[in-house]
Amino acid sequence: MISTLGYVFKQGFKNIFRNKIFSLATVATISACIFLFGLFYSMVENVRYSIQKAETNVAVTVFFNEGVTEAQIMQIGDAIRARSEVSSVEFVSASDAWESFKVDYLGEYADGYEGDNPLEGSENLEIYLKDVSKQSELVTYLESVEGVREINHSDVTANILTQFNRLLSYVSLGIVGILLAVSVFLISNTVAMGIAVRHEEIGIMKLIGATDFVVRSPFLIEGILLGLIGAAIPLVAVYYIYINIIEYAAQHFVILNDLLQFKSTREIFSVLIPVALILGVGLGFVGSFITIRKRLRV
Amino acid sequence: MITLENVSKSYTNDGTPALNNVSLHINKGEFVFIVGDSGSGKSTMIKLLLRELVPSSGRIIVNGVDLSKLRRGKIPKYRRNIGCVFQDFRLLKDRNVYENVAFAQRVIQTPTKKIKKNVPQMLSLVGLPEKYKSKTKELSGGEQQRVALARALVNNPPILLADEPTGNLDPRNSWEIMKLLEEINRRGTTVLVVTHNREIVNAMRKRVITVKKGVIVSDEEKGEYIDD
């Protein structure tokens, strides 16, 4: 059995070199597809990452009726914090609110308000969400809480971010789907060419008494190897491109640093490497399997 | 060893059958010529014996195996009992002589050690021990047919089918191949040769089965090639 497996692998490997031009064309196309997939994945992941970062800055602010004590507000805050969609809850006292207002809007003109707090009674809770799409759910809950006077929130921001996120996912799924279909078609074609080129050899194998496994497996191995090579090459390319883009953006677009949040190379490639390799192997397997089933009835 | 019982084979539902109610029996160790014009049904007979085709009716039994009951998965193992050579040699042009012969053993998972022992033995039998490194395209037609014979015999099959083995060869090489087939038969292999070569058939004085329009018209021990 071991010698058979050795033979099958050796033949699969040799097939690639016997059929150099088609193999090269296939590897080039799979590489192009996986390269685009890699770029696209990196882009989508970073945009999503930036959105997530932006989402954490979208807060719901809750103000309370007169007479609600700080201790009661803290209690309400604890109940809100326990909700699954909530990331964090911060208590902002009236004096904190006034200090912040002075810094942001009054500057040196704040001196006239010495000893006075015009924002008295504006104690509030700032609530940050894990997922902005859950904002309306949270607002409904907050409206039912006793003592709540007003809830400030931005539905527009939440909706735009959620919709953009969704759109990006659909577009990426669509493009990746098309690329995968093209790759399967190309591998399938290359293996079909290989079968046509080696039509005579296959005929001889059948006459000699080779089993289905021995006849078919080298073509399956060929497809898988082509997929693997086609996936490995663009990974290296995407890696270097990604490193350089991060460096370039950090040096030349400092102004965008708050807006654009790049994931680290490690974070991106710890997912991209296994996914791309599995994708390559999967494409090779599916592409060759379809052709073998169709054209290699032993 | 080989029995055909009322075997018919039609390629279309309404057309003339390629083989029509053919019955014959070939004993173990026999040397048999099957002769006939093009389209007489000789190739259909070979394909039926190789289980490339199934008969429309009748039974074929080879080495005790009823081919109509043979499951698809068992066909490869069955074919290992039959060596084949063809008019066009069917060698792998991108490989050398040794690799062509070894190929027959590799695809049936023979251990490498055995292959290294068997292949030179076979090449000696067919008279090509020194050509093992040559590419097949560098060989003459006669030498190519010898390589094909070595490949057909390396797995030690009890039956050898030769479909027009001398069809592409000059008279000298044709005779050498036929002598080789006779030697192989002498060593115990049952040999069936489909041929058009009247001179060889008449000279060798073996059993001759003549097929015409899908029907056996003559079956004679030490027979001769019968003209239309």
B77 contacts in chain A (CB < 8 Å) = 209
- Residue A41: pLDDT band (50, 70, 90) is confident
A59-153 has CATH 3.30.70.3040 classification: yes
Q: What CATH number does the domain containing B61 carry?
A: 3.40.50.300
B72: closest chain A residue by CA: A298
Distance from CA of A230 to the nearest CA of B (A): 26
Tell me if B107 and A207 make a contact (CB, 8 A cut-off): no
B178 and B73 together in one domain: yes
Nearest-Cα residue of chain A relative to residue B105? A208
Residue B164 shares a structural domain with residue B209: yes
* Whether B6 and B104 share a structural domain: no
Q: Torsion angle, CA of A97/A102/A106/A109, rounded to 10 degrees?
A: 130
- As a whole number of angstroms, the distance between CA B108 and CA B128 comes to 23
Nearest CB partner across the interface for B109, out of A4, A206, A298:
A4
The pLDDT mean for chain A works out to 81
What is the per-residue pLDDT for A92?
A: 83
Q: Which of A62-71, A168-177, B54-63, B160-169 is the least confident region?
A: A168-177
Domain boundaries, chain A: 2-54+160-295, 59-153
pLDDT band at A115 (very low <50, low <70, confident <90, very high): low
A–B interface: beta-carbon pairs under 8 A = 49
Window from A103-107, B47-51, B66-70 with minimum mean pLDDT: A103-107
Place of tokens 């196309």: A29
Looking at CA atoms only, how far is residue B77 from chain A in angstroms?
Answer: 6
In degrees, rounded to 5, the angle at the alpha carbon of residue B47 between the alpha carbons of residues B46 and B53 is 150
Residues B152 and B173 in one domain: no
User: Of B156, B173, B202, which closes a domain?
Assistant: B156
Residues of B in Cβ contact (< 8 Å) with A4? 109
| Strand, helix or coil for residue A248 | helix
If asked whether residues B141 and B118 sit together in one domain, one would say yes
Domain final residue, candidates B139, B156, B173: B156
Clarify whether residues B67 and B169 are in a common domain. Answer: yes
B182 vs B175: CA distance, rounded Å: 10
Q: Which residues of A touch B92 (CB under 8 A)?
A: 200-201, 204
Question: B141-153 vs B171-186: helix axis angle to the nearest 10?
Answer: 20
Chain B residues with CB under 8 Å of A7 CB are 106-107, 109
Q: Locate the chain B residue with the closest alpha carbon to A213.
A: B107
Residues B221 and B167 both lie in one domain: yes
List the Cα angle A128/A132/A133 in 5-degree steps. 145
**Same domain flag for B77 and B167:** yes
The pTM is what?
Answer: 0.67
Where residue A147 falls among pLDDT bands split at 50, 70, 90?
confident
* A interface test, pick of B109, B115, B122 with most A CB neighbours within 10 Å: B109
User: What is the rounded (10 degree) CA torsion for A29, A30, A31, A35?
Assistant: 110
**Helices (H), strands (E): how many in chain A?**
9, 4
Burial environment of residue B78 by CB neighbours within 10 A (0 to 12, 13 to 18, 19 or more): middle
- pLDDT top residue among A231 and A176: A231
User: Are A205 and B107 a contacting pair at CB < 8 A?
Assistant: yes
Q: Which pair of tokens denotes residue A241?
A: 């491109």
Tell me: pLDDT of A97 over 90. no
Query: What one-character DSSP code corresponds to residue A64?
Result: E
Dihedral-angle region of residue A180 (phi above 0 means left; psi in -120 to 50 means alpha; beta otherwise) = alpha
- Phi, psi at A15, each rounded to 5°: -55, -40
Same domain, yes or no: B72 and B176 = yes
Residues B145 and B172: beta-carbon distance below 8 Å: no
Q: Please check whether residue B86 lies inside any domain of the structure.
A: no
Which residues does B contribute to its contact with A (CB < 8 Å)? 50, 73, 76-80, 84, 90, 92, 94, 103-104, 106-109, 111-112, 151, 155
Report, as an integer, the average pLDDT of B130-154: 92
Report the residue of A208, A214, A217, A219 to disrupt the B interface, i.e. the one with the largest count of B CBs within 10 Å: A208
Domain span at B5: 1-81+158-228
Residues B25 and B124 in one domain: no
Write down the ipTM of this complex: 0.84
For residue B80, give the nearest of A3, A203, A209 by CB distance.
A209
Nearest Cα residue to A16 out of A193, A167, A235: A193
8 A C-beta contact, residue B67 and residue B61: yes
Q: Quick check: A122 pLDDT over 80?
A: no
* pLDDT confidence band for A2 (50 / 70 / 90): low
Q: Does residue B52 share a domain with residue B2?
A: yes
Q: Do B84 and A207 touch (CB under 8 A)?
A: yes
Q: Which residue of B has its CA nearest to A209?
A: B76
Which pLDDT tens digit goes with each residue over A197-219? Answer: 778 888 888 888 888 888 888 88
Q: Number of structural domains, chain B?
A: 2
CA nearest to A230, candidates A10, A11, A28: A28
Q: Which helix (H) or strand (E) holds B57?
A: strand B57-62
Exposed, middle or buried: residue A83 (CB in 10 Å: 0-12, 13-18, 19+)?
middle
Distance CA A146, CA A168 (A): 39
Q: Shortest Cα distance from B228 to chain A (angstroms)? A: 33
Alpha carbons A12 and B204: distance in angstroms, whole number: 46
Whether residue B57 lies inside any domain: the answer is yes
Same domain flag for B152 and B103? yes
Rounded to a whole number of angstroms, the distance from the CA of B76 to the nearest CA of chain A is: 4
The answer as to whether B21 is a domain residue is yes
- Closest residue of chain A to B155, computed from CA coordinates: A208
Cβ contact B76–A200 (<8 Å)? no
Which tens digits make up the pLDDT trace of A263-282? 888 988 999 999 999 988 98
Beta-carbon separation of A4 and B155 below 8 A: no
Neighboring chain B residues of A207 at a CB cutoff of 8 Å: 50, 79, 84
Q: Looking at B129, B156, B183, which one is the last position of a domain?
A: B156
A209 contacts B84? CB cut-off 8 A:
no
